[in-house]
Chains A and B, each alone.
Chain A
Amino acid sequence: MATGARSGAAATRIVGWQHSGIAYLSSAPAMIIVAMVLAFPVLFALWQSFFGVSPIRGEQPFVGFGNYTRVFSDPQFWASLGRTAIFVFGVIALGLTLSIIFAFALNRVVSGLRFIRGIAILPYIVSSVAAALMFRTLFNSDFGFPNQMLEFFGFAGIPWLSNGNWAMLVIIVAQVWTDLPLALLFILGGLQTIDKQLHEAALVDGATGWRSALYISLPLIVPQITLATVWLSFKAVTSLGTILALTGGGPGDSTQLLTLEMVRLGFDEYDTGTAMALVIIIFLLNAGLTLFYLGLQRKFGMK
């Protein structure tokens, strides 16, 4: 679809309808806005990360990589990086498992696909705070559904949000719940483009059901799985609202991820320079992870 965008094949050739002046004029507002709120802030953050800036102190000493060394020598940073790693890994593991299973099931639906798909997309339209509140209710240790079930079957209830490890699990589940729809759509889209004949051929060869899915479809949707991974990872690394509203980093520091650390440094301690260094580190972490997934795909993917 968008290949034309690169080649410019859709450019009009109608006489008198090509105006580069108007072209600049009509794209300028969009470009200015994007430059202002997306491009400029990144550069600004990069620049600020080399200064010991603080809005309350008002002085701006150049500190070079000082902020970065401060970050790297801070045990809090390494602890939150470790928690972020667990969180991201958990989100990818749970998110991919669920989206693959659900996508395969959806792909077999003959009628009513649109209806079920519509339902599956619902979490996509819920704000992170609202989702967090819903999960706070759900995982309440007194009346929450999981504990009701456990107690019904005679087990002891789990202190979901007051125990560090369980809280990590809850934020992983909540995060996956909000971001599953797109991952699911990616994989479903991949499955739907696989040639139906391929499956028929496989049926003749004796592979059936889940086996054919596993051996035939799965390798073919490696690109979509990669995309879903990139998406889930991106959202997890940069997740803030869900966790802030669900656990606020607690109990203790057990869900204090990098993003929360960044907010604490910047807004609570007014240490802007260090916060900016953390912003840049999060950017790089994201980019690095994306490259890593693409590398994995190249190494193990069939395509």
Chain B
Amino acid sequence: MGEVAFRDVVKRFDDGTIAVNKLNIEVADGEFLVLVGPSGCGKSTSLRMVAGLEEVSGGTIEIDGEVVNSFTPRDRDIAMVFQSYALYPHMTVEKNMAFPLRMAKVSAAEKDRRVKEAADILDIGNLLNRYPRELSGGQRQRVAMGRAIVRSPRVFLMDEPLSNLDAKLRVQMRGEISHLQRELRTTTLYVTHDQVEAMTLGDRVAVMHNGVLQQLASPEKLYASPGTVFVAGFIGSPPMNLCHGTVEKGEAGLTVRFGSMALGIDEESLARYPSVSGRAGQDIIVGMRPECFSFEAGDGAPGRSIRTSVDLVEMLGAEALVYVRTDARPVNTKDLVDTSSDVGVSEKVRANAMVARVSPKGLPQVGETVELHYETGELHFFDPVSGLALS
């Protein structure tokens, strides 16, 4: 068993910082749940409260229905993988992995057997007599994992376990963690600020921002219907184009105007955000996925494309990013910028541009005026005041 529940959990530090605010999450037994969000949003703090490394200021944390707020870490039966790995430098790999068993007073024979078993699973059987300083980053990571699984705890907690690895190794270990978790079926809470990790690993993903849970949903759902402007601007790479606009009612139906551009609101999109029809004449935030733009005309229906000039073209190989000029008022993206995204476009370009992710064939020149078509059913709408997705 290993159900974890946050109920109205608040964390206020001594200096008054509110790191986590009214957090409510239920993690099912065996589930892989990822906490994701920008730096400082309270992910680690949430995880550490489950581990008992941080007191809870308000609300309760439950494991298997039992309130554990006042339990020492020892009494919680959890295991944790730290970002720094926190391997004991004065112990060999074997001693490191055996440490939780030693603390649990497991017999010597049983201890050896389980350490060996875990070492085999992680393929570090040949490293058992080494000291942590004699290991590579990836090997240390494995040892840290080994130390966590050796005891078969109720819950695994992992705080950015891959962030100290190079990109290639990170992808490999990501796969292994996913595989391992599916094999062991141990409830796992995983913290990362990398949305790709979050989307690939999580059964469900909880997006946090400023200590507040923004949305908790499956990766598919998170991508398809972001619940808040923040989520929309966080998930996807590059993330959704977001700008202020107004809904207009014309003879051809509803259109959304942003700056000097406009797109017709198609039936499909309207079906997903029906309340938009009641917002004619009102301000709104409109979101457009970069990957839903293309240079090929779709069904040729009117109001399905925008005309604008190209600011910048970035060739990524299999695809290209085209930044086009817009005079729409951008949503303040300061705190929305996905820190993990490799797309390092300057704030300035971003502020006055929309980005389209297109096929790399027949790319336009910088300065050229182009016609960009937008897919049907892919418009997203948010309330400009609350930031919530419209119903």
Asked if A and B form a direct contact in the complex, defined as CB atoms under 8 angstroms apart, the reply is yes
Which stretch in A8-16, A76-84, A152-160, A293-301 binds the other chain?
A: A8-16
Q: Are A13 and B55 in contact (CB under 8 A)?
A: yes
Closest A residue to B54 using CB positions: A13
Asked if B224 is at the interface (CB within 8 A of a chain A CB), the reply is no
Asked if A17 is at the interface (CB within 8 A of a chain B CB), the reply is yes
Task: Give 1 or 0 for each of A1-36: 1 = CB within 8 Å of chain B CB.
Answer: 000000000000111110000000000000000000
Asked if B72 is at the interface (CB within 8 A of a chain A CB), the reply is yes
Q: Are B72 and A16 in contact (CB under 8 A)?
A: yes
In terms of DSSP, what is the predominant structure of the interface of chain B? loop
Q: Which residues on the B side are within 8 Å of A14 (C-beta)?
A: 52-53, 72-73
Q: Which residues on the A side are within 8 Å of B70 (C-beta)?
A: 15-16
A16 to B71, CA, bound (A): 7
Give min CB distance, A19 to chain B, whole Å.
12
Task: Give 1 or 0 for each of A163-201: 1 = CB within 8 Å of chain B CB.
Answer: 000000000000000000000000000000000000000
A13 to B54, CA, bound (A): 6
Q: Which residues on the A side are within 8 Å of B72 (C-beta)?
A: 14-17
A34 to B285, CA, bound (A): 69
A15 to B72, CA, bound (A): 5
A16 to B51, CA, bound (A): 12
Q: Which residues on the B side are within 8 Å of A16 (C-beta)?
A: 52, 70-72
A212 to B71, CA, bound (A): 61
Q: Which residues on the A side are within 8 Å of B52 (C-beta)?
A: 14-16
Number of A-B residue pairs having CB atoms within 8 Å of each other in the complex = 21
A17 to B71, CA, bound (A): 10
In terms of DSSP, what is the predominant structure of the interface of chain A? loop
A16 to B75, CA, bound (A): 10
Determine the interface band of chain B, counting residues with CB < 8 A from chain A. under 10
Task: Give 1 or 0 for each of B60-93: 1 = CB within 8 Å of chain A CB.
Answer: 0000000001111100000000000000000000
Q: Which residues on the A side are within 8 Å of B53 (C-beta)?
A: 13-15
Closest A residue to B75 using CB positions: A16
A15 to B71, CA, bound (A): 7
A53 to B54, CA, bound (A): 58
A17 to B70, CA, bound (A): 11
Closest B residue to A17 using CB positions: B72
A15 to B73, CA, bound (A): 7
Give min CB distance, A6 to chain B, whole Å.
15
Closest B residue to A18 using CB positions: B55
Q: Which residues on the A side are within 8 Å of B73 (C-beta)?
A: 14-15
Closest B residue to A16 using CB positions: B72
Q: Which residues on the B side are within 8 Å of A15 (C-beta)?
A: 52-55, 69-73
Give min CB distance, B360 to chain A, whole Å.
46
Interface centre among A13, A14, A15, A17 (most CB of B within 10 A): A15
Give min CB distance, B188 to chain A, whole Å.
21
A14 to B53, CA, bound (A): 4
Give min CB distance, A201 to chain B, whole Å.
34
Q: Which residues on the A side are within 8 Å of B71 (C-beta)?
A: 15-16
A15 to B55, CA, bound (A): 6
A170 to B73, CA, bound (A): 64
Q: Which residues on the B side are within 8 Å of A17 (C-beta)?
A: 72
A15 to B70, CA, bound (A): 7
Closest A residue to B72 using CB positions: A16
Give min CB distance, B9 to chain A, whole Å.
14
Task: Give 1 or 0 for each of B30-72: 1 = CB within 8 Å of chain A CB.
Answer: 0000000000000000000000111100000000000001111
Give min CB distance, A107 to chain B, whole Å.
30
Within 8 A of B (CB), among A15-72: 15-17
A175 to B214, CA, bound (A): 71
A28 to B55, CA, bound (A): 27
A16 to B54, CA, bound (A): 10
Q: Which residues on the B side are within 8 Å of A13 (C-beta)?
A: 53-55
Give min CB distance, A8 to chain B, whole Å.
10
Closest B residue to A15 using CB positions: B52
Closest A residue to B13 using CB positions: A13
Give min CB distance, B42 to chain A, whole Å.
15
21 contacts between A and B (CB under 8 A): A13-B53, A13-B54, A13-B55, A14-B52, A14-B53, A14-B72, A14-B73, A15-B52, A15-B53, A15-B54, A15-B55, A15-B69, A15-B70, A15-B71, A15-B72, A15-B73, A16-B52, A16-B70, A16-B71, A16-B72, A17-B72
Hey, which bits of chain A sit against chain B, CB under 8 A?
13-17
Query: 8 additional contacts, CB 8 Å, given A15-B69, A16-B70?
Result: A13-B54, A13-B55, A15-B52, A15-B53, A15-B55, A16-B52, A16-B71, A17-B72
Hey, which bits of chain B sit against chain A, CB under 8 A?
52-55, 69-73
- 4 smallest A-B Cβ distances: which pairs? A16-B72, A15-B52, A14-B53, A13-B54
